[in-house]
Amino acid sequence: MFNFTPTTASIPPANNTLRLKPLPNALPNYQPLSPLAFILRAALIYPEKIALIHTDVPFPVAYNFATWAQRIQNLAYALIKFGIKPGDSVAILAPNCPMIADAHHGVIAARAIVTPINTRLKPSEVAYILDHSQAKLLLVDHEYLHLVEGTTVPMIISKDTGRMDDPYEVFLAEGRYFSKEAGWQGLDTEPDENASAVLCYTSGTTGRPKGVITSLRGNYLAALANAFEGRMDRHSTYLWILPMFHAAGWTFPYANVFSFATQVTLRTVNYTHIWNHILRSGVTHYCAAPTVQIGIVNDPQAQQPKQSVTAIIAGAAPTAHLIAELEKKGIKPVHFPSAIRETYGPFTRNYEQESWGPLSLDDRARLMARQGHAFATAEEVRVVYQQENESDPLQDVPRDGKTMGEIITRGNIVMKEYFRDPDATRKAFAGGSFHSGDLAVMHADGSVAIMDRSKDIIISGGEVRLYPNLAGSTLTYPESMQNASSLAIEQELVTHPHVLEASVVARPHVKWGERPMAFVVLHPQHAASWHGRHQTFASELKAHAKTRLPGFACPEWVEVVPELPKTSTGKILKTELRKIVAKL
Amino acid sequence: MFNFTPTTASIPPANNTLRLKPLPNALPNYQPLSPLAFILRAALIYPEKIALIHTDVPFPVAYNFATWAQRIQNLAYALIKFGIKPGDSVAILAPNCPMIADAHHGVIAARAIVTPINTRLKPSEVAYILDHSQAKLLLVDHEYLHLVEGTTVPMIISKDTGRMDDPYEVFLAEGRYFSKEAGWQGLDTEPDENASAVLCYTSGTTGRPKGVITSLRGNYLAALANAFEGRMDRHSTYLWILPMFHAAGWTFPYANVFSFATQVTLRTVNYTHIWNHILRSGVTHYCAAPTVQIGIVNDPQAQQPKQSVTAIIAGAAPTAHLIAELEKKGIKPVHFPSAIRETYGPFTRNYEQESWGPLSLDDRARLMARQGHAFATAEEVRVVYQQENESDPLQDVPRDGKTMGEIITRGNIVMKEYFRDPDATRKAFAGGSFHSGDLAVMHADGSVAIMDRSKDIIISGGEVRLYPNLAGSTLTYPESMQNASSLAIEQELVTHPHVLEASVVARPHVKWGERPMAFVVLHPQHAASWHGRHQTFASELKAHAKTRLPGFACPEWVEVVPELPKTSTGKILKTELRKIVAKL
């Protein structure tokens, strides 16, 4: 089917001991939690099973768990030989490919910090992250060298070939040679389960990106939760659509290995490749943000797969419409929303109820679009507001499905800190919980439903008052639903069969202060029929909205656009839409 | 279908806060691991789902998660009102029933130690455990009062009715009243995840029973592993055949709740009730030792269930024959062997391989009967022997499938200690690992296969030498397979279609030192045909054995018996068989 040609340095010796070096004076009944345990177990129990497949490239490769574990070990030794010390940051600038998958395990095997960098950033932003993270080494994919011209950080370049002459493979081979075949027993085990493991930067749409530090313990527990909640096991095949650099792949680099799943890496979000793998590589699981999911279900190649496929939706709130569309394609949507870097990715899950069974697909999808409850190994999720007196504790909103507050959480899958930024850490952890910046309501069943990011709310009439404790900034707090949730409006706009995607932002209004403006992308099948008649469509869509939304929430303006501005991870850039609005 | 009449004290108030009281100065990113989190999540997310069903009694009850969580809270308050302090031991003497299920959660909610006592013990043994555990209170089922006559430990008696006038229900109602509706926020959260959670006593076939103490962290991690490895979820229904008092139900009292599974409690191992529940209550999972599994598959009511049923086999090594029989009945056997109190129950699992697919059921069952590899959250499992020089570290046996050594393990799912027994703790933890006392070989694939308990090996020729480091005693170590593994012999005897069960022990032999003697129970369908001709059958079975075993391993003697002596948990009492042999 494809080449399977690991370099000689990747082939493990017959007497390979797949066990971490015992800690000095280790207690018989305590082992620091570390996701590094997963690759060792997988290589021991399923050595011949395919761990990693990378095919849509000129030099396809596949590694079984035994070989992959050896490559990870080689990487750890190579880093140590290079001079990486425990606690050092090792940056990775790469799309989904074996190198970044290796790094998630190999870097922590060297007791260093995995620091993946978003490949869609500008050179100046990459430079800022390299500097701020104090990266000692950069593992960089050949396609992204232009982003790091002139950097003083030493680099190892991967041509993503897996061949002997690839500089990354030479680096691994040097690691193997340097190891003198001491194997895993030659690598020191990290004694502290709270040691820093991964450093991911926020996209920094406002201000400088912040570095989110997560721990070994947190990654271990979040990975277990993702594997359990996703019902993954050794029969699973996970397709890497979500970039691994994005919040370190929501701990799926570890959850997949814990489950003994096969991972398929895709360098780009290419719908032909995606459908090819879903229909022909037996993919059972993938993660993607809602906008990418929209692209997947609307692709002309979409058809019902033979196997059961679970689509893990996170990164932003999906519309009920999208959930229904996925189900129609035979893909089981699981909503692990509220996925943010600061919580290792998902920290809530929408838990389906038996009582939803008899509901219509539309009604059920509306319930499934809620963010739900705290995840398996997460602790409490609360929706709170600040009381009159700022020194009073945060108050939970009533469970009425309409009073908005901010989602806060705490527990083992909350980040350690913002790296080298005690001020931001202190603000984010105000009152002993992590402030997500998501505005939400709590329903009677205790489930949360995000209404908006705090910065996206539209103050369209209604009372407002100051809500000073939202994460890191002073914002107005909407007292009632008279203030329109942009997400609630988007949910309804996309129910129009000719709308592919919609994004709503606030636009100043003389009478109301603010009113909603919608940017919509037409469905490819219907775009031609509205060609030259976008104003007519705008009127039709406004009429459609009036049948489904209260007056104050109906968009005052509708603009048909060919596409929406998005981040590399598929999040809609409302900041760009606001810039457009500002010029109107 | 059945009564569902919780007492008024069991009905939660509408504004119930299902959240632990925050620890003073709690970090936003750290929460001590505790299985208490599970019942709160279940009651929050699936309040109406049936948590616990107890039907095969005069007063059947069923509780949903909301009600059950309230009962657990009531129990915690009742214990505190009674005077139970953090770290106190609360003993439970009961069969599988709501009280013992409640206690696994309610006692830790009061920060006390769950101390379940085996109901098959003699009064003197129960008295010893009550005394040794320093139990401050005993929750006792009315049927077992005769075991605790004259005890000075205060008692709360359950009549297992769930009715208002049941003394246990009165106790719970007092707890509710005492709580003044302060709810979960009125109970102090245990700040130390390594705090003692459960105290279980070994059966003490040799010497006094030992008290095995496990921690909150260990129970949390072991429960996650059991839920993940068992592929449990909210659609699961777990049948309590294994007594909950046995190694605290292998953490399934917690794993079931973590999974949001429904639990069905059975007071006794009654095959009519078992098959009734498998066929009519939608049971998807149960745990049982091999001898009980034999009873289940051979029961005349056995038939293929409609739903998928996973039988978790642990507690003793199953024969390949049993595994094949379960599969024939449409029950999926999962072998979580090496389940001992000191490891929270299972710590290895037999991981099936793709390559076993084409094998015959018999061959596959042989591979599945192996104990396999370390469990999801367990650390390393090794098979070791003592080198010549006792100060040298323990040596791993070669992966040859024939050199025997002792299984040792370490990590987060190894007990804290033997309660009030530092000497036994020190011995069990010699060299920094827990010594299981199981003799095993390691196969080329790194999987372990138990050959015998160290005391069950038959020294039938071959070299022997002293192996002084086996847990707690000086034993001879068999250098080669010339020493017959009683389990290997039993594996072959039960392949005879007329044999229901077999147990083999050593019997002194003038020439060979020891030779195997087999005690066999005939299959009910064939017992009549051999009536009065047991000697003939013995000859036939010896001939059968000769075709499958090397000469030194063939039983020299075969005794047909109506039944085998067993512990309450279904483990065959080889000590009793040895007493019979001693008198021959």
Instruction: Write the ipTM.
Output: 0.86
B419 and chain A in contact, CB less than 8 A:
no
Identify the three-state secondary structure at position A151. Answer: coil
What is the reported pLDDT for A14? 85
Mean pLDDT confidence for B75-84: 98
Does any domain span residue B263?
A: no
Which residues in chain A have their CB less than 8 angstroms from residue B29's CB? 215, 218, 410-412, 414-417, 429, 434
Contact B412 A446 (CB under 8 A): no
pLDDT grade, residue A34 (50/70/90)?
very high
pLDDT value of residue B337? 62
pLDDT at position A171 is: 98
Which carries the bigger pLDDT value, residue A3 or residue B406?
B406
Query: Nearest Cβ partner of B30 from A48, A412, A433?
Result: A412
Compute the average pLDDT of residues B288-300. 88
For A158, phi then psi, to 5°, come to: -110, 130
In chain B, which residues have their Cβ closer than 8 Å to the Cβ of A33?
A: 412
Which residues from chain B sit within 8 angstroms of residue A258, using beta carbons? 376
Residues of B in contact with A218 (CB under 8 A): 29
Q: Which H or E element spans position B311?
A: strand B309-313
Residue B574 has pLDDT above 50, yes or no: yes
* Residue B407 placed within a domain: no
Average pLDDT of the segment spanning B294-317: 88
Q: Choose the closest CB to A231 out of B22, B233, B445.
A: B233
At A469 the pLDDT is 31
DSSP string, A237-306: EEEE-S-TTGGGGGGHHHHHHHTT-EEEE-SS--HHHHHHHHHHS---EEEE-HHHHHHHHTSTT----S
Report how far residue A129's alpha carbon sits from residue A415's, in angstroms, rounded to the nearest whole number: 18
Q: Does A422 touch chain B (CB under 8 A)?
A: no
pLDDT-derived band of residue A461, with 50, 70 and 90 as boundaries? Answer: very low
Decide if pLDDT at B116 tops 70: yes
pLDDT of residue B45: 95
**Tokens describing residue A359:** 């509901």
Q: How far is CA B196 from CA A429, B112, B135, B193, B432, in A?
A: 30, 8, 14, 8, 20
Q: Is the pLDDT of residue B450 over 50?
A: yes
- Beta-sheet strand order (sheet of A499-509): A499-509, A513-522, A557-560
B523 in any annotated domain: yes
Cα(B261)–Cα(B292) distance, rounded to whole angstroms?
A: 23
Place of tokens 């505190």: B80
Q: Please write the tens of the pLDDT for every residue from A191-235.
A: 999 999 999 998 755 568 899 999 999 999 999 999 999 999 999
Which residue would you say has higher pLDDT here, A246 or A477? A246
User: What would the pLDDT profile of B378-418 be if each residue is shown by its tens digit?
Assistant: 888 999 987 766 677 888 888 988 787 888 999 999 999 99
Q: How confident is the model at residue A410, as a pLDDT?
A: 92
Q: What's the mean pLDDT in A419-433?
A: 92
Nearest residue, CB atoms, A228 vs list B31, B47, B227: B227
Counting the structural domains of chain B, the total is: 1
Q: Which DSSP helix (H) or strand (E) runs through B71?
A: helix B65-82
Closest CA in chain B for residue A217? B30
pLDDT, residue B388, reads: 66
A512, part of any domain: yes
Dump pLDDT digits (tens) for A89-119: 999 999 999 999 999 999 999 999 999 999 9
- Lowest average pLDDT, out of B10-14, B205-209, B498-502, goes to B205-209
Take residue B33 and report the two structure tokens written for it: 């691991």
Work out the number of other CB atoms within 10 angstroms of the CB of residue B535. 11
Chain B CB contacts of A446 under 8 Å are: 18, 44-45
Which phi-psi region, left, alpha or beta, contains residue B91 (left: φ > 0; alpha: ψ -120 to 50)? beta
Query: Tell me, what's the pLDDT at A478?
Result: 40
Residue carrying the six token digits 């930067």:
A201
Name the CA radius of gyration of chain B, rounded.
24
Q: Where are the beta strands (DSSP E) in B189-284?
A: 196-201, 211-215, 237-240, 262-265
- Predicted confidence at residue B322, as pLDDT, reads 86
The mean pLDDT value of chain A amounts to 87
CB contact under 8 Å between B411 and A233, yes or no, is: no
Q: Which residue of B has its CA nearest to A33?
A: B412
pLDDT at B14: 85
Q: In Å, how far is A238's CA from the nearest CA of chain B?
A: 18
The token pair at B477 is 């170590």
Cβ within 8 Å of A, B 478-507: none
- Do B231 and A231 count as a contact with CB atoms less than 8 A apart? yes
Chain A positions touching B351 (Cβ under 8 A) are: 45-46, 234
Average pLDDT for chain B: 87
CB pair distance less than 8 Å for B29 and A410: yes
pLDDT tens-digit series, residues A485-528: 787 788 888 889 899 999 988 888 777 667 889 999 999 889 99
Q: What is the pLDDT of residues B351-387, one digit of tens each?
A: 999 899 899 887 888 888 888 898 889 888 999 987 7
Across the interface, do A410 and B446 touch by the CB < 8 Å criterion? no
Going from the C-alpha of B302 to that of each of A27, B275, B321, B330, B406, the distances in angstroms are: 46, 7, 17, 10, 37
Q: Which residue of B has its CA nearest to A27?
A: B432
**Given pLDDT bands bounded at 50, 70 and 90, which one contains residue B211?**
very high
Tell me the shortest Cα–Cα distance from B399 to chain A, in angstroms. 10
Asked whether A107 and A217 are in contact (CB, 8 A), the reply is no
Closest-CA residue of chain B to A227:
B228
Residues 26 to 55 of A: which have CB under 8 A from any B CB? 26-31, 33, 37, 41, 44-49
Nearest partner of B336 among B302, B265, B283, B285, judged by Cα: B285
* B527 in a structural domain: yes
* Residue B311 banded pLDDT, cuts 50, 70, 90: very high
Q: Which residue of A has its CA nearest to B427?
A: A28
Structure tokens at B229: 């490895």
Average pLDDT over residues A459-476: 35
CA distances from A163 to A9, A172, A262, A369, B432 (A): 11, 11, 21, 45, 43
pLDDT score for A74: 98
Quick one: average pLDDT of A432-447? Answer: 88
pLDDT at A135 over 60: yes
Q: Which amino acid, one-letter code, is at A416?
A: K
A475, pLDDT greater than 60: no
pLDDT of A134: 98
Helix (H, G, I), strand (E, B), or coil: what is residue B260?
coil
Q: Residue B216: helix, strand or coil by DSSP?
A: helix
d(CA A240, CA A263) in angstroms, rounded, equals: 7
pLDDT at A339 over 80: no
pLDDT on residue B474: 30
Domain that holds residue A497: 459-465+481-583
Residues of chain A above pLDDT 70, percent: 90
Across the interface, of A49, A227, A373, the residue whose CB is closest to B228 is A227
Residue B410 sits at the chain A interface (C-beta within 8 Å): yes
Residues of A in contact with B219 (CB under 8 A): none
Residue in B28, B215, B373 nearest the CB of A432: B28
E strand or H helix at A384: strand A381-385
Q: Is B178 helix (H, G, I), strand (E, B) or coil?
A: helix
Quick one: pLDDT at residue A568? 62
CATH of residue A545's domain is: 3.30.300.30
Tokens of A161: 């070939």
pLDDT of residue B180 exceeding 80: yes
Structure tokens, B222: 């072991």
- Residues 423-442, chain A, touching B (beta carbon < 8 A): 429, 432-434
Using the predicted structure, report yes or no on whether residue A370 has a pLDDT greater than 70: yes
Q: Is the pLDDT of residue A472 over 60?
A: no
Tell if the CB–CB gap between B379 and A31 is shorter than 8 Å.
yes
- Residue A19: CB atoms within 10 Å: 21
Tell me the C-alpha distance between B438 and B324, whole Å. Answer: 24
Highest-confidence segment of A166-180, B347-361, B444-458:
A166-180
B64 in any annotated domain: no
A199 touches A212 (CB < 8 A): yes
Q: What are the Cα distances from residue B230, in Å, to B252, B334, B367?
A: 10, 8, 19
Q: Do residues B474 and B437 touch, judged by C-beta distance below 8 A?
A: no
Question: In the structure, what pLDDT confidence band is assigned to residue B452 with cuts at 50, 70 and 90?
Answer: low
Chain B residues with CB under 8 Å of A433 CB are: 28
Residue in B121, B168, B129 with CA at minimum distance from that of residue B147: B121
Interface of A with B in 217-256 (CB under 8 A): 218, 224, 227-228, 231, 233-234
Residue A535 located in a structural domain: yes
Residue of chain B whose alpha carbon sits nearest to that of A415:
B29
Q: What is the 3-state secondary structure (H, E, C) of B189-211?
A: CCCCCCCEEEEEECCCCCCCCCE
> A20, A23, A29, A416: which to substitute to probe chain B, counting the most B Cβ within 10 Å?
A29
Which residues, 6+ apart, have CB-to-CB distance to A386 below 8 Å?
A392, A394, A395, A467, A468, A469, A477
Q: Does the pLDDT of residue A468 top 50, yes or no? A: no
Q: What is the pLDDT of residues B473-523, one digit of tens each?
A: 333 334 333 456 787 788 888 889 899 999 988 888 777 667 889 999 999
In this prediction, residue A362 has a pLDDT band, given cuts at 50, 70 and 90, of: confident
Q: Is the pLDDT of residue B63 over 80?
A: yes
Q: Is B21 on the interface with A (CB under 8 A)?
A: no
Q: Check if the beta carbon of residue B18 is closer than 8 Å to that of residue B43.
A: yes
Q: How many CB atoms lie within 10 A of CB A203?
A: 18
Confidence of residue A483 (pLDDT cuts 50, 70, 90): low
Asked if pLDDT for residue B205 goes beyond 70, the answer is no
Provide the pLDDT for residue A507: 86
- Average of per-residue pLDDT across A150-164: 96
Residues 349-408 of A with CB under 8 A from B: 351, 353-355, 372-374, 376-377, 379-380
The better pLDDT of the pair A407, A319 is held by: A407
B122-145 pLDDT, tens digit each: 899 999 999 999 999 999 999 999
Model confidence at A323, pLDDT cuts 50, 70, 90, reads confident
What pLDDT does residue B61 have? Answer: 94
Higher pLDDT, A567 or A349: A349
Mean pLDDT of all residues in B227-232? 94
- What residues in B contact A434, CB-CB < 8 Å? 28-29
Supply the pLDDT for residue B569: 61
Q: Which residues of B touch A411 (CB under 8 A)?
A: 29-31
For chains A and B, count residue pairs whose Cβ atoms are closer than 8 Å: 110
In a domain, B215, yes or no: no
Describe the crossing of helices A167-179 and A65-82 by its angle, rounded to 10 degrees.
80
In chain A, which residue's Cα lies nearest the Cα of B372? A45
Q: Is the pLDDT assigned to residue A476 strictly greater than 50? A: no
The confidence score (pLDDT) of residue A369 equals 81
Alpha-carbon distance A356 to nearest alpha carbon in chain B (angstroms): 13
Contact between B379 and A28 using a beta-carbon 8 Å cutoff: no
Could you tell me which residues come within 8 angstroms of residue A307 by beta carbon, excluding any fewer than 6 positions away?
A282, A283, A284
When pLDDT is cut at 50, 70 and 90, the band that residue A539 belongs to is: very high
